[in-house]
Amino acid sequence: MTTTVTPPDTAQSLTLDKLVKTYSSRGRESFQAVKGIDMAIRPGELVALLGPSGCGKTTTLRMIAGLETVTSGSIRIGDREVSQLPAAKRGIGVGFESYALYPPMSVRENLLYGLKARKVKGAEQMVDSISRRLEMDDMMGLRPAGLSSGQKQRVALARALVRNPPVLLLDEPLSHLDASARQRVRRELKVLQREFGYTTIVVTHDQVEALSLADRLAVMDAGVVQQFGTPDEVFDDPANLFVAQFVGEPQINVLHGVARAAGGAVRVEIGSGAGALDTTVTGVADGTKVTVGIRPQDCVIGSATGNGIRVTVAYFEHLLEFGLATSTVAGIEEGIVVQTPAAESYEPEQQVTLSAPAERVYLFDSDSGERLR
Ligand SMILES: Nc1ncnc2c1ncn2[C@@H]1O[C@H](COP(=O)(O)OP(=O)(O)OP(=O)(O)O)[C@@H](O)[C@H]1O
Ligand SMILES: [Mg+2]
CATH number at 292 reads 2.40.50.140
User: Ligand 1, atom 14: nearest CA belongs to which residue?
Assistant: 56
User: Ligand 1, atom 30: nearest CA belongs to which residue?
Assistant: 54
* CA–centroid distance, residue 142 to ligand 1 (Å): 33
Question: So what's the pLDDT on residue 164?
Answer: 87
Question: So what's the pLDDT on residue 193?
Answer: 94
* CA–centroid distance, residue 33 to ligand 1 (Å): 7
For residues 304 and 363, state if they share a domain: yes
Instruction: Report the number of distinct structural domains present in the chain.
Output: 2
Query: Distance (Å, rounded) from C-alpha 145 to C-alpha 236?
Result: 46
Closest ligand 1 atom to 51 CA: 21
* CA–centroid distance, residue 312 to ligand 2 (Å): 42
For residues 159 and 256, state if they share a domain: no
User: Ligand 1, atom 17: nearest CA belongs to which residue?
Assistant: 58
Confidence of residue 1 (pLDDT cuts 50, 70, 90): very low
Q: Tell me: pLDDT of 80 over 90.
A: yes
For residues 135 and 203, state if they share a domain: yes
User: Ligand 1, atom 18: nearest CA belongs to which residue?
Assistant: 56
Out of 194, 224, 245, pick the residue that ends a domain: 245
Query: Distance (Å, rounded) from C-alpha 236 to C-alpha 230?
Result: 10
Mean pLDDT of the chain: 91
* CA–centroid distance, residue 23 to ligand 1 (Å): 9
* CA–centroid distance, residue 24 to ligand 2 (Å): 18
319 within domain boundaries: yes
For residues 174 and 188, state if they share a domain: yes
1 within domain boundaries: no
Give the tens place of pLDDT for each residue, 133-146.
999 999 999 999 98
Out of 220, 245, 270, pick the residue that ends a domain: 245
For residues 163 and 263, state if they share a domain: no
- Partners of 284 in beta bridges: none
24 vs 243 pLDDT, higher one = 243
Give the tens place of pLDDT for each residue, 117-163.
888 899 999 999 999 999 999 999 999 998 998 898 999 999 999 98
CB atoms within 10 A of CB 219: 27
Give the tens place of pLDDT for each residue, 295-322.
999 999 986 455 789 999 999 999 989 9
Question: So what's the pLDDT on residue 274?
Answer: 87
Pocket of ligand 1 (CB under 6 A): 23, 25, 31, 33, 51, 53-59, 205
- Which range of residues forms the domain containing residue 339? 251-372
